Amino acid sequence: MKKLLAFLLIAFMAFSVTACGTVNDSDVAVIWKEGDTAIIPGSLIDTMERAMYIENIAYTHLDSEGDSKKQYSNAEKAVNEGAAALLVNLIEVNDAEKYITLAKGNNIPVVFFGCDIDTTVLETYEKAACVSTDDASLVSVQGAQIKDYMASKYDNEKDTNSLDKNNDGVFSCIALGNVDDVIAESECDLELIDSSELLKAEIIITDNEKDALEALEALQKEGYNKDKLVTHYVPIFTVGSDADASRFTDTSEMDDEDMTTFVYTVSDIIGEGKMTGTVIEDRDSIAGAAVKVVGNLLKGKEIFEGIAEENLAGKNTVKISYIAVG
Amino acid sequence: MGFLGFLSFQFMIKNTEIRVEDEVKIGEEQEKFNVFRAMKNFAKNRPAVGATVAAMGMFIGMQGATTAVTVLFQSYFKNVQISGIVQLFAMIPIIAFTPLARKMVVKYGKKELSVVGAVCSMVACFLMLVLRITPDSTGIAIYIGCQLINSLGMGIYSTVSWSMMGDAIDYNEWKTGSREEGVVYSLHSFFRKLAQGAGPSLVIIIMYTFGYVGSNGGNQLFSIALNMRYLVAALYLFSAVMQFVGLALIYNLNKKALDTMNCELEARRSAE
């Protein structure tokens, strides 16, 4: 028994060694536009922390409070303190050049994320890169989402679509915001109606969460979209998922402290079946790609090693498509 | 399911060996039962205490970790679907072990086998704690590997736990001359239930100190999910250590002692 315990102790000590060590000796400075930007599960800062952990990179968050001068000052300070790299959520896109000059002068990588940088500026430094959302994909992703949803409601045997409540062969659509391209992309027979004719609507398409939540609120007052029941339901499609939607759930038993930490957003509403779908930035992929690029540069690997080819958009740029949720 | 349960019970009844058969005579005078003396005997019954400590540790750790495991799969691995598959995988070692259980018990002994199981669990859970289990496919693979070994260890004890209580009852009779089956079983069951109820409650308190936001359920910040990842491993390790303490250090009926006890009890009963 004593021998067994001694062996276990030695084994425990030996295996403990495997838990130590990060890729970089000094921190990577992650310089945000605003440090307290929606620290909710699934936000960019949350997914960035996850990605940093996966790549085993030590980092420090720096808050710029929405001030581009403070943001550059943060970068200078981080570099002076020996930062291993700069990961910048740039406020002023035109400032990219001076960050690249700063990083190049200290031979450290600089990766921009959540913003679009001119490729000619990026190409002046081999350790500079940019990871951002492919804005052009929004129309195609939302259009495809709506198209697939409409197709799923089609009954081949009866040659009818359950969404066509009045069986007139077209779908009455309330369009809120700039969604003309999305409607065209969906290739569905959508007939636009006025937003005042809410209960005649067979589908609602918006380009922002505020309009979607207001539409949902109006529908719920009429007894619609309270659960997953098909009979009293108007599909709502929107863009985004961060807006606070706690007014759509029961918070009566929560105290003030619970309310400050409670998170209930459009994603939750979709999960409960009250809304149909949304299109969001793929934050996991954006953070993952940005951190992967930083990690590659720190380890002396190829800059885009491990990044999916379909996301590469030039010598120093990664573009991540929107994703559909719901 | 009810029909399957009925068939299983019939199988169990037909294959259960009655070890002690008492003839009851109507009007027979018997010594008056004293519950306090019986409880005192339980506390002195090392096998009963050891098996109970092991069971309590298992329930506090394993069942207490349920909520933390939900966070682990939803917010850490971001893969809720795989949690069911992992639980299924975790049953594979014990399903594979069960047909061999009887032969191995006869050859090595219940305590010996259970202690080896506890050691396997401790090693697996320690690895789960210290290895870099990242929230990606590699991390999930390491987690599953550790869980398979942990489940085997826990499962070995689960297979023999109730028969160890049977031995503990015999031990009570051997040492005190008094057979108190009802008290020993009921106290063992009581402590198991206590652990099943207290475990999740205690763990929830610990989770809150690590930043868990109850109203958000399984949807937590990554920093909190990371704490839950370590908490799950620590709880499983706690279970394994309690099992080891209960079975290796307190439970004192190894194969040799069990054989001696059974022989003496048989001789005593024959003499009666």
Question: What are B176-185's pLDDT values in tens digits?
Answer: 888 888 888 9
How far is the C-alpha of A73 from the C-alpha of B68, rounded, in Å?
Answer: 41
Nearest-CA neighbor of A67 among A45, A106, A29, A34?
A34
In this prediction, residue A24 carries a pLDDT of: 81
- H or E stretch at A110: strand A110-113
Task: Name which of A69-78, A128-137, A255-264 the model is least confident about.
Answer: A255-264
Is A15 close to B131, i.e. CB distance below 8 A? yes
B33 CA: distance to closest CA in chain A (Å): 40
Per residue in A114-152, is it b (16+ CB within 10 Å) or e — as a string? bbbbeeebbeebebbbbbbbbeebbbbbbbbbbeebbee
3-state secondary structure of A171: strand
In this prediction, residue A317 carries a pLDDT of: 96
Instruction: Write down the H helix ranges in chain B.
Output: 2-15, 35-44, 46-58, 64, 66-71, 81-108, 110-130, 137-176, 181-209, 222-244, 255-271
Residues from chain A that touch B223, judged by Cβ atoms under 8 A, are: 49
Q: Is A63 in contact with A39 (CB distance < 8 Å)? A: no
Burial class (CB within 10 angstroms; exposed 0-12, middle 13-18, buried 19+) of A266: buried
A21 CA: distance to closest CA in chain B (Å): 11
In this prediction, residue A42 carries a pLDDT of: 87
Residues from chain A that touch B127, judged by Cβ atoms under 8 A, are: 15
Per-block mean pLDDT, blocks of 10 residues, chain B (272 long): 89 81 63 76 92 93 87 92 85 84 90 94 96 94 93 89 92 86 90 91 93 88 94 95 96 94 91 78
Q: What is the arithmetic mean of pLDDT over A145-166?
A: 87
In this prediction, residue A19 carries a pLDDT of: 46
In this prediction, residue A319 carries a pLDDT of: 97
B76 CA: distance to closest CA in chain A (Å): 8
Q: Which amino acid is located at A216 in the chain? A: L
Mean pLDDT across chain A? 89
In this prediction, residue B30 carries a pLDDT of: 63
3-state secondary structure of A240: coil
ipTM over 0.90: no
Q: Quick check: A301 pLDDT over 50? A: yes
Name the DSSP class of A244.
B
From the centroid of its chain, how far is CA B263?
28
A19 CA: distance to closest CA in chain B (Å): 6
What are the pLDDT digits (tens) for A230-248? Answer: 678 999 999 998 888 989 9
Give percent of chain A with pLDDT exceeding 70.
92
B105 CA: distance to closest CA in chain A (Å): 20
Is B222 close to A49, i.e. CB distance below 8 A? yes
Is A49 close to B75, i.e. CB distance below 8 A? no
In this prediction, residue A170 carries a pLDDT of: 86
Of B131, B219, B222, the CB nearest to A263: B219
Q: Is A62 in contact with A305 (CB distance < 8 Å)? A: no
For residue A48, give the chain B residue with the closest CA.
B222
- State whether residue A7 sits within 8 Å of chain B by CB: no
pLDDT band, residue A101 (cuts 50/70/90): very high
What are the pLDDT digits (tens) for A19-68? Answer: 457 878 889 999 999 865 557 888 899 999 999 999 999 999 999 999 99
How far is the C-alpha of A79 from the C-alpha of A47, rounded, in Å?
Answer: 24
Q: What is the arithmetic mean of pLDDT over A91-99?
A: 95
- State whether residue B245 sits within 8 Å of chain A by CB: no
- State whether residue B208 sits within 8 Å of chain A by CB: no
Q: Is B175 in contact with B34 (CB distance < 8 Å)? A: no
Residues 9-28 of chain B with CB under 8 A from chain A are: none
In this prediction, residue A243 carries a pLDDT of: 86
Q: Quick check: A262 pLDDT over 90? A: no
Q: Which residue has the higher pLDDT, A258 or B168?
A: B168
